[in-house]
Amino acid sequence: MPYRILKRKDLIPGQTILMVVDAPMIASKSRPGNFVILRVSDKGERIPLTIADADAAAGTITIVFLVVGKTTAHLATLREGEDILDVCGPLGRPTHIEKSGPVICVGGGTGIAAMHHIAKGHHQAGNRVVAVIGARNKDLLLFCDELGSFCPEVLIATDDGSRGHKGFVTELLKSRLEEDKEIAEVVAVGPVPMMEAVAKVTLPFGVKTTVSLNSIMVDGIGMCGACRCTVGGKVRFACVDGPEFDGHAVDFQELKMRLGQFRTEEKISLEKFRGQS
Ligand SMILES: Cc1cc2nc3c(=O)[nH]c(=O)nc-3n(C[C@H](O)[C@H](O)[C@H](O)COP(=O)(O)OP(=O)(O)OC[C@H]3O[C@@H](n4cnc5c(N)ncnc54)[C@H](O)[C@@H]3O)c2cc1C
Ligand code: FES
């Protein structure tokens, strides 16, 4: 069944793209933290993307992706009115959300879009949400207005100081945790080094810390083992046991090593695709 692209917006031209996709069945079951696995062509690979938003009434889901390799480059060629070949979901365990107290949601780069859905879920559950977002510069920040519409505070960090704090999200997070002893949980979605750094910052404060792992996935239903990771010394499959885990228990070194295992093939695949297109 093809999935029509109803809206397409280049959030960062040529780099980060938002698509609103007609997917009524997925939208009706989607919860914050879920993801989809899609294929762009019948000979292409399956890639996981987080559901950045879902509208059950409109029957749509929103995906936001960074163009990093062959499949995301291929997806980026699709325009409004065209179809994605197949979209499977919602997959993964939804975020555990309950009325727990104030939550800090940290997002980095494209991870801000995924974090936005989780932050919205916490807000709807009655938790005060402080958003902490970061990017290399102000032009790469995403979802500032959307987060501002329900978060009483949106703290911004940019590497070059072009907007907000000059530096990293972890510096903002640390000072916020020093000031506010009531924080019940910190949720982090973004590049692996950022999530690892967030977990290091929160550890001495003893604050529950949830990270969303972006392991390589193939089937997304716990059968292939591609997304294997180690959490608290135990083997976990990010697609069915996660993708969210206790950030203090994740073996980030192993995750980074496994993420890079097909780098040569990925480079060749992208070069071939660029040569053909
Ligand atoms: C649960 C989950 C949710 C994700 N959500 C988003 C999102 O919302 N937006 C976004 O931009 N990216 C997201 N990602 C990452 C996204 O899946 C990869 O960027 C994408 O698969 C890259 O494919 P490619 O062919 O374009 O690049 P490639 O050149 O094939 O790969 C580039 C890098 O992407 C990663 N990657 C490659 N293939 C896969 C795969 N099958 N599964 C997972 N990672 C892979 C590897 O680290 C690889 O080095 C998510 C990953 C997971 C596991
Ligand atoms: S993607 Fe195959 S087991 Fe998780």
Residue 69 CB–ligand 1 contact under 6 Å = yes
**Among 36, 56, 91, residue at a domain's last position:** 91
Residue 52 inside a domain? The answer is yes
Q: Give yes or no: residues 24 and 126 share one domain.
A: no
CA of residue 178 to ligand 1 center, whole Å: 34
Whether residue 212 is predicted with pLDDT greater than 80 in this model: the reply is yes
| pLDDT for res 43 | 87
Residue 14 inside a domain? The answer is yes
Total number of domains in the chain: 2
Whether residue 187 is predicted with pLDDT greater than 70 in this model: the reply is yes
pLDDT (mean) for 173-180: 94
Q: Cβ distance 263 to 231 under 8 Å?
A: no
Q: Taking all residues of the chain, what is their mean pLDDT, rounded to a whole number?
A: 94
| pLDDT for res 274 | 85
Beta bridge partners of 100: none
Residue 266 inside a domain? The answer is no
Instruction: Give the start-end residues of each E strand in 191-275.
Output: 208-212, 228-231, 234-237, 244-246
Residue 12 CB–ligand 1 contact under 6 Å = no
**Among 91, 125, 154, residue at a domain's last position:** 91
Residue linked to tokens 């080094």: 193
Q: Give yes or no: residues 27 and 137 share one domain.
A: no
Any idea what the CATH number is for the domain that residue 48 is in?
Answer: 2.40.30.10
CA of residue 266 to ligand 1 center, whole Å: 11
Q: Give yes or no: residues 207 and 186 share one domain.
A: yes
CA separation for the pair 65, 49 (Å, rounded): 7
Q: Give yes or no: residues 123 and 165 share one domain.
A: yes
Q: Give yes or no: residues 193 and 232 share one domain.
A: yes
Whether residue 277 is predicted with pLDDT greater than 80 in this model: the reply is no
> Which ligand gives the minimal distance to the CA of 74?
1
Whether residue 205 is predicted with pLDDT greater than 80 in this model: the reply is yes
Q: Give yes or no: residues 81 and 113 share one domain.
A: no
pLDDT in tens, 222-270: 999 999 999 999 999 999 999 999 999 999 999 999 998 888 888 888 8
Residue 61 inside a domain? The answer is yes
Q: Give yes or no: residues 34 and 128 share one domain.
A: no
Residue 269 inside a domain? The answer is no
- What residue's CA is closest to ligand 1, atom 37? 216
Q: Give yes or no: residues 115 and 83 share one domain.
A: no
pLDDT in tens, 5-49: 999 999 999 899 999 999 999 999 999 999 999 999 998 899 999
pLDDT (mean) for 203-222: 95
Q: Give yes or no: residues 34 and 139 share one domain.
A: no
Q: Give yes or no: residues 33 and 140 share one domain.
A: no
Mutate-to-test residue for ligand 2 from 216, 221, 241, highest number of ligand atoms within 8 A of CB: 221
| pLDDT for res 1 | 67
pLDDT in tens, 119-156: 999 999 999 999 999 999 998 898 999 999 999 999 99
Residue 270 inside a domain? The answer is no
Q: Give yes or no: residues 117 and 248 share one domain.
A: yes
| pLDDT for res 255 | 95
pTM of the predicted structure, to 2 decimals: 0.93
Domain that holds residue 85: 3-91
Mutate-to-test residue for ligand 2 from 218, 230, 245, 262, highest number of ligand atoms within 8 A of CB: 218
Whether residue 2 is predicted with pLDDT greater than 80 in this model: the reply is no
Q: Give yes or no: residues 134 and 233 share one domain.
A: yes
Residue 96 inside a domain? The answer is no
Any idea what the CATH number is for the domain that residue 193 is in?
Answer: 3.40.50.80
Instruction: Give the start-end residues of each E strand in the chain.
Output: 3-12, 16-22, 35-39, 47-50, 53-55, 60-66, 83-84, 86-91, 103-108, 129-135, 153-158, 165-166, 185-189, 208-212, 228-231, 234-237, 244-246
Q: Which two structure tokens, joined as six digits, stand for 215?
A: 């392991």
